[in-house]
């Protein structure tokens, strides 16, 4: 099959997903989307993308499987610990000056990032005044996020990350460990609302003090990235903070990027200053 036909079939598959289920993946970064579509085809056992498209159109469960494969849900507690170290050192002192805090984790995957905030805010004495919103496109990821159970094999990395973030407590204070899994303590879950939200097609909610959108924009094509960045800007109060992933940076290259100033550029923390 020539590349061109493959590109057409991928486009048709994404059109079908959009028309049938309303999820708009058409403007995601093309090269990585192609890799994931082809991996999904290989694992489906079907010979051609046209067959996969047919099945996805007629079988919702098959669509859900495909969505899982097309979105990347890798996450960790205190992933990129240096960024949380900078957040703790530089952003937290400013957050202390507010009587209440609204924090949004956009693209929270299976919840580790929201629980990271909950642990960090608890350590800094701010959790009781915080309301966290944690959203994702994937219903399956959200289901796991609400369960807050992770394999015990991830614990050494979580502990190492936590220490490197400037922790003031032991991670053991915040989790319960069983032989093959760990779970996040109930006290850390109470101020977090997990719900479905699509950054591409849903409206945003406003007045956030902090928006974490880490390792999500990287999957979008240039125009979609700018559109979503605009939504993130709309959701922040002036002076609010946007925290991105290590591979994501704002350089002032677009009108929306210009409304953000680097606050801790190495940690990818930006301040919304329209
Ligand atoms: C690699 S994970 C990032 C998880 C977490 N933020 C982190 O950095 O550890 C990317 C997440 O973005 C979500 N995502 C992709 N497109 C999205 C969209 N249009 N709206 C909301 N979430 C989306 C995926 O479902 C996935 O859970």
Q: What does the pLDDT look like over 61-106, one tens digit per residue?
A: 999 999 999 999 999 999 999 999 999 999 999 999 999 999 999 9
Q: What separation in Å is there between the alpha carbon of 99 and the centre of ligand 1? A: 30
Whether residue 75 is contained in a domain is answered as: no
Q: What separation in Å is there between the alpha carbon of 221 and the centre of ligand 1? A: 14
Whether residue 76 is contained in a domain is answered as: no
Q: CA-to-CA distance for 3 and 5, rounded, in angstroms?
A: 6
Residue 110 CB–ligand 1 contact under 6 Å: no
Residue 141 CB–ligand 1 contact under 6 Å: yes
Overall number of domains in the chain: 2
Last residue within a domain, chosen from 18, 48, 70: 70
Percent of the chain exceeding pLDDT 90 equals 97
Two structure tokens written together for 182:
């760990």
Residues 252 and 130 both lie in one domain: yes
State the pLDDT confidence band at 205, using cuts at 50, 70 and 90. Answer: confident
Whether residue 26 is contained in a domain is answered as: yes
Picking from 185, 181, 245, 178, the residue whose alpha carbon sits closest to that of residue 211 is 245
Residues 42 and 96 both lie in one domain: no
Atom of ligand 1 nearest to the CA of 24: 19
Inter-residue contact 269 to 242 (CB < 8 Å): yes
Residues 151 and 200 both lie in one domain: yes
Whether residue 55 is contained in a domain is answered as: yes
Q: Give tens-digit pLDDT for 15-35.
A: 999 999 999 999 999 999 999
pTM beyond 0.95: yes
Under DSSP, is residue 135 helix (H, G, I), strand (E, B) or coil? strand
Q: What separation in Å is there between the alpha carbon of 2 and the centre of ligand 1? A: 31
Two structure tokens written together for 151:
């394999």
Whether residue 161 is contained in a domain is answered as: yes
Residues 98 and 62 both lie in one domain: no
Residue 161 CB–ligand 1 contact under 6 Å: no
Whether residue 126 is contained in a domain is answered as: yes
For atom 2 of ligand 1, the residue with the nearest CA is: 73
Strands (E), the chain: 101-106, 130-136, 149-151, 175-177, 181-184, 192-196, 208-213, 236-244, 260-264, 269-272
Q: Rounded to 10 degrees, what is the CA torsion of 201, 211, 183, 196?
A: -10
For atom 3 of ligand 1, the residue with the nearest CA is: 215
Atom of ligand 1 nearest to the CA of 198: 20
Under DSSP, is residue 145 helix (H, G, I), strand (E, B) or coil? helix
Under DSSP, is residue 200 helix (H, G, I), strand (E, B) or coil? coil
What residue numbers bound the domain in which 27 lies? 3-70
Residues 219 and 94 both lie in one domain: yes
Residue 198 CB–ligand 1 contact under 6 Å: yes
Residue 259 CB–ligand 1 contact under 6 Å: no
Q: Is the pLDDT of residue 2 over 70?
A: no
Comparing 3 with 238, which gets the higher pLDDT?
238
- For residue 152, the domain's CATH number is 3.40.50.150
Q: Give tens-digit pLDDT for 217-230.
A: 999 999 999 999 99
Q: Which H helix or E strand runs over 103?
A: strand 101-106
Residues 257 and 204 both lie in one domain: yes
């Amino acid at each position: 099959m020539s590349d061109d036909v493959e590109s057409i079939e991928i486009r048709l598959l994404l059109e079908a997903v959009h028309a049938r289920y309303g999820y708009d993946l058409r403007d995601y970064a093309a090269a990585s989307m192609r890799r994931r579509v082809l991996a999904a085809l290989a694992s489906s056992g079907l010979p051609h993308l046209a067959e996969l498209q047919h099945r996805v159109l007629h079988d919702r469960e098959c669509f859900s499987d495909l969505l899982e494969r097309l979105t990347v849900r890798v996450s960790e507690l205190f992933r990129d610990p240096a960024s949380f170290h900078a957040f703790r050192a530089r952003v937290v002192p400013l957050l202390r000056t507010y009587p209440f805090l609204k924090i949004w984790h956009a693209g929270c995957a299976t919840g580790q990032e929201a629980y990271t905030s909950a642990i960090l805010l608890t350590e800094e004495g701010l959790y009781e005044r915080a309301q966290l919103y944690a959203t994702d496109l994937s219903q399956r990821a959200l289901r796991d996020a609400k369960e807050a159970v992770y394999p015990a094999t991830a614990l050494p990395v979580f502990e190492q990350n936590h220490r490197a973030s400037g922790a003031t407590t032991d991670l053991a204070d915040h989790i319960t460990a069983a032989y093959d899994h760990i779970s996040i303590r109930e006290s850390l879950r109470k101020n977090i609302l997990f719900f479905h939200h699509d950054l591409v097609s849903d409206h945003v909610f406003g007045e956030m003090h902090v928006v974490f959108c880490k390792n999500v924009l990287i999957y979008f094509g240039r125009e979609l990235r700018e559109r979503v960045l605009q939504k993130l800007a709309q959701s922040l109060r002036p002076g609010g903070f946007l925290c991105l992933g290590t591979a994501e940076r704002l350089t002032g290259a677009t009108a929306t990027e210009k409304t953000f100033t680097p606050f801790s550029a190495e940690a990818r923390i930006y301040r919304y200053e329209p």
